[in-house]
Amino acid sequence: MVKQGITTAAPAIAPDGGAGPLDRLGRPMRDLRVSVTDRCNFRCPYCMPGEVFGRDFVFLRSDEVLRFEEITRVVRVAAGLGVTKIRLTGGEPLLRRQIEKLVMMIAAVDGIETALTTNGSLLVGKARALKEAGLGRVTVSLDSLDNTVFQAMNGVGFPVERVLEGIAAAAEAGFGPIKVNVVVKRNINDRSVLDMARFGRENGHTVRFIEFMDVGATNGWRLDDVVPAAEILEAIDAVFPLEAVPADYPGEVARRYRYRDGGGEIGLIASVSQPFCRTCTRARLTADGNLFTCLFATAGHDLRAVLRATEDDAELSALLARVWRARGDRYSEERSSLTSAGKRIEMSYVGG
C-alpha cells in the first residue's frame, strides 16, 4: 500500500544461507533476547501494572536466575546455530548487579552483536561502563516528554528529566544513534507523538513508535486503545515529510522511514495492525532459563535444567535446534482463540 507517497509494505525475508536450523515456516534463528532479571523499578501499565506487581508479588529467587556463565554458554551455543544478535532485557536489565560483566562476556563470543533495552532510570551511572564492556547499542523506553504523562505511564512517578539525562549520558559515552521506544496508547500519550518525533530529529536519535500490544493477561489490552502505525505515520508525515527506507537486515521488526529533509529517521512497530510473524527470527530466554519462541507463547522450554545437569554443549545445541525446528508460531497473524489471553506469559517475564 502507498499512502502520501510512503510505502508501507511489509519487509521481506529470505533464507540467507547461514548455518543453523529453520523452523516449520522456513525462518532461521538469528536474534536472541535475554532477560537478565524479572524485576523492574517501573510499573508501566502496559507491561507491569502496579495493581498486579505490588509489594507482595513474588519474584524469582537468586538461585532460580541464570548465572552470567550460564547465559554466556547459551549465547555461545546459539551463535553456533546462526544467532548473531543478542539483546539484554528485563524487567529492567540495569537492576542486575554487575551487568557490565555479562556484557563483556557476551561481547567476547565470536560473531555476536550486543544491544540492551532499558527504561533509562539508571543509565547515567552505567552508560560508560557498558560501552567500555563492549555493548554495541542502547535502546531507551520513553513514552512521553510531558512529565505528567510520563510519570503516569511509568507508574511510580519517576521524572522524565532523569531519563533524558540517561540518554544524554549514553550519547556522551559513544552510543549512537540511540533508539528510543515509545509505546503509543490511545488517549494516554498519543498526543506526545509529534513531540517525540521532534526530540529524535533535534538530538540525532531514532524514535520507534510501537503499537500497544496484547502481551500477557494483566495489561487490560483493548483494540480501542491501539493507535495504528498508519495513523502515527500520517500524523508525523503531515509535519515532517517522510519516505520509506529498506530494512537494515532480514527480519527487522521496525518499518523504517527517513525525513525527506535529512533530519534522521523513525521506526514503526505494527504488531497489531500489520503483523510481521513471517519475518520473525527471534527467540527469547527468560531470567530463569526458559526459552520461548514467541512473545505471545503460553509455555517455554527449560534450558536451565540442561545447563545445570551437563557441561556437554552438544546436548544444549541439540535441544535448541529441536525447539526451533518445531516452531510454528505466528500469533499476531492469527489473533484467534488458538492462544488464550489467560495463559499467555507476561512481557516483564519474557523480556519483551
Residue 148: partners with Cβ closer than 8 Å, 6 or more residues away? none
pLDDT digits 0-9 by tens, 195-253:
999 999 999 999 999 998 765 555 556 778 899 999 999 999 999 999 999 988 777 78
pLDDT of residue 327: 92
What residues have CB less than 8 Å from 326, skipping those under 6 apart? 23, 24
Domains of the chain: 21-350 (3.20.20.70)
Question: pLDDT digits over 160-197, tens only?
Answer: 999 999 999 999 999 988 999 999 999 899 999 999 99
pLDDT digits (tens, 9 = 90+) for 36-85: 999 999 998 888 888 889 999 999 999 999 999 999 999 999 999 999 99
- Residues 242-264: pLDDT tens digits? 999 998 877 778 899 999 999 99
- Write down the pLDDT at residue 6: 44
Q: What is the pTM of this model?
A: 0.89
Average pLDDT, the chain: 88
- To the nearest 10°, report the CA torsion of 316, 318, 320, 322: -150
pLDDT tens digits for range 294-351: 887 788 999 999 999 999 999 999 999 999 999 987 776 665 444 444 565 666 677 7
Q: How far is CA 33 from the centre of its chain?
A: 7
Do residues 242 and 236 touch, judged by C-beta distance below 8 A? Answer: yes
**Residue 15: pLDDT over 70:** no
Average pLDDT over residues 3-28: 61
* C-alpha closest to that of 290 among 305, 277, 280: 305
Give the integer Cα–Cα distance in Å for 218 and 205: 31
What percentage of the chain carries pLDDT values higher than 70?
Answer: 86
